[in-house]
Chains A and B, each alone.
Chain A
Amino acid sequence: MRGVNAALGAAGLAAFLALGEAVPRLGLVEEAYFPPTSRIAEALADEAADSAFWTALGDTLTGWALGLAIASCAGIVAGVLISVVPYLREATASTIEFLRPIPSVALIPLAVLLYGTELRSVLLLVVYASFWQILIQVLYGVQDVDPVADETARSYGLGTWARIRHVLWPTALPYVMTGVRLAAAVALILAITSELVIGAPGLGKRIGVAQASQAVPEMYALIVVTGLLGLLINVGARTVERRALAWHQSVRGEVAV
């Protein structure tokens, strides 16, 4: 069954690429704006040979990874604190609900004012967008702690820290993983967007330059790279999730006993 699915998936992708090749060649769309697949592949190969491309890729990944790491740490620490300290959750709920829906891109002018085109601009936007994703999941996760599990821990004399470490954290972990996976995708979007709009170094900036200089196939090639990045990030996040949560019902499935 898995083999058949993989074959079907490959066939679908091949058909899509073939369509991308045929449609511009048949003159159905203007080739100048929609280059055929082979032209894009060529441009991609040229990019891969260019060291400036790799630098840009590195810049984007740095902004993404650093931003995600900061947001994850901050989100987890804040989430656990808000849940553990009495009354803090009630006191912060409305503020969180107000700040969370603010689109990160609305902060672009602020980022430019503060940091110009530096990496810190990118980080500000990436962190702001991903932080909420993680925080919200941690808050949900902590609420999921089973009262019986918690009472068991208390009855055996586990203190606050031991209960956070052995009960609260493992319970919240599936939620944290979901949060990090969502945040990883959002972080990439924000990294590219800020580079594109602010002009901070990275793939986004390179896409903008390619567009401005009419290098249409190169622009598409770079877009393909960002797509591949997104794909890899998602696959990677899922793998980590499966490893870390082997004990969880969603991963282990139903076990016959």
Chain B
Amino acid sequence: MLDVRGLKKVYEGSGRRVEAVRDLTFTVDAGELVCLVGPSGCGKTTLLKCVGGLLTPSGGEVLLDGRKVSGPPPGMAFVFQEYGRSLFPWMRVGENVELPLKQKDLSKARRRELVRDALESVGLADAVGAYPWQLSGGMQQRVAIARALAYEPRVLLMDEPFAAVDAQTRADLEDLVRGLWRERGITILFVTHDIDEAVYLGERVIVLSASPTVVREQLKVDLPVERDQLHTRVDPRFAELRTHVYEQIQAAKKGAAAS
């Protein structure tokens, strides 16, 4: 479904040349939940923005259903880390969720239905009339997720969406994302720097090297589909997987220091 081939991104500016992403190749199948994890500063956000068509890669290509991505494709939604800046403070929650739908050819009734349904899915049905800044951080990120859901994307890109919320909220939101993924069968590409999160959420974890980034390892997460914060996290298999990913990332950092 999503095919990333030899992706390369070089930033050039004022005499400095930064190779953020060197050569990335991986695929995401339809209905898969894949987590990308890597050491901090390894160009995860750059990668995701290239996939989402927000940045033009310097080399390689991104294919969505076999078609080259050259701008934000209609079947894709993006959830940003900075929910406070990604939601528009001049619009109420309902309007925020509805805005992307206005770009699609939908009737007003259908738009309303999608908005209501999406807000219900994230447990914020009664917040339609509130302004985003009247909500807590976790609730704001839920609104951003609802906006993405209402858009009915086939691929959902999430860029460290829970990096700025507290640990308890984060656990709730992780369960929410897994729940939505199972319910709706959306393909999710989830970027995080948190190893536990990557293993807990993903069906597959792609470990990236330090910048300039390449794929270091792809790891199938063979935990049961049914996961919960209490049991999954104390599962010996969970511990093994996270230790393995942790070692990979440590090695990736050392590798970067050595080269």
Contacts and interface: CB of A to CB of B under 8 A. Distances in A.
B86 A149 contact: yes
Contacts of A157: 72, 74, 100, 103
Given A149-B86, A152-B86, A154-B54, A247 B76 contact: no
Interface string B85-96: 110111100000
B152 to A, nearest CB: 12
Contacts of A156: 72, 77-78, 99-100, 103, 151
Interface stretch (A87-95, A109-117, A162-170): A162-170
Contact of B99 (A159, A166, A247): A166
A154 B99 contact: no
Contact of B78 (A152, A249, A252, A255): A152
B181 interface: no
B162 interface: no
Contacts of B90: 170, 173, 247-248
Range for the number of chain B residues in contact with chain A: 20 to 34
Interface in A141-176: 146, 148-149, 151-152, 154-159, 162, 166-167, 170, 173
Given A156-B77, A257-B136, A247 B131 contact: yes
Contacts of A148: 80, 82, 85-86
B243 interface: no
A154 B56 CA distance: 13
A146 B85 contact: yes
B190 to A, nearest CB: 16
B246 to A, nearest CB: 30
A167 B88 contact: yes
Given A154-B72, A156-B151, A255-B133, A166 B52 contact: no
Most buried by A among B80, B90, B103: B90
A173 B90 CA distance: 10
Nearest to A166: B99
Nearest to B74: A157
Nearest to B84: A148
Range for the number of chain A residues in contact with chain B: 20 to 34
B134 interface: yes
B135 interface: yes
Contact of B134 (A146, A151, A152, A255): A255
A156 B151 CA distance: 8
B interface, by DSSP: helix, strand, loop or mixed?
loop
A248 B53 CA distance: 31
A146 B54 CA distance: 15
A157 B91 CA distance: 18
Contacts of B91: 166, 247
A144 to B, nearest CB: 12
B103 A257 contact: no
A252 B133 contact: yes
Contacts of B53: 155
B169 to A, nearest CB: 12
B54 A155 contact: yes
Given A154-B54, A156-B103, A170-B88, A257 B72 contact: no
A117 B162 CA distance: 66
A15 B100 CA distance: 59
Nearest to A162: B103
B117 to A, nearest CB: 18
Nearest to A245: B90
A95 B131 CA distance: 41
10 contacts: A146-B85, A151-B49, A151-B54, A151-B78, A151-B80, A152-B80, A154-B54, A154-B72, A170-B90, A249-B89
Interface of B: 49, 52-54, 72, 74, 76-78, 80, 82, 85-86, 88-91, 99-100, 102-103, 131, 133-136, 151
Interface of A: 146, 148-149, 151-152, 154-159, 162, 166-167, 170, 173, 247-249, 252, 255, 257
| A-B complex: 10 closest residue pairs judged by Cβ atoms | A156-B100, A155-B78, A148-B85, A170-B90, A152-B86, A247-B90, A257-B136, A155-B72, A148-B82, A146-B85
Given A155-B76, A158-B100, A166-B88, 19 more contacts: A148-B82, A148-B85, A149-B85, A149-B88, A152-B86, A155-B52, A155-B53, A155-B54, A155-B77, A156-B72, A156-B77, A157-B72, A157-B74, A158-B99, A173-B90, A247-B133, A248-B90, A252-B133, A257-B135
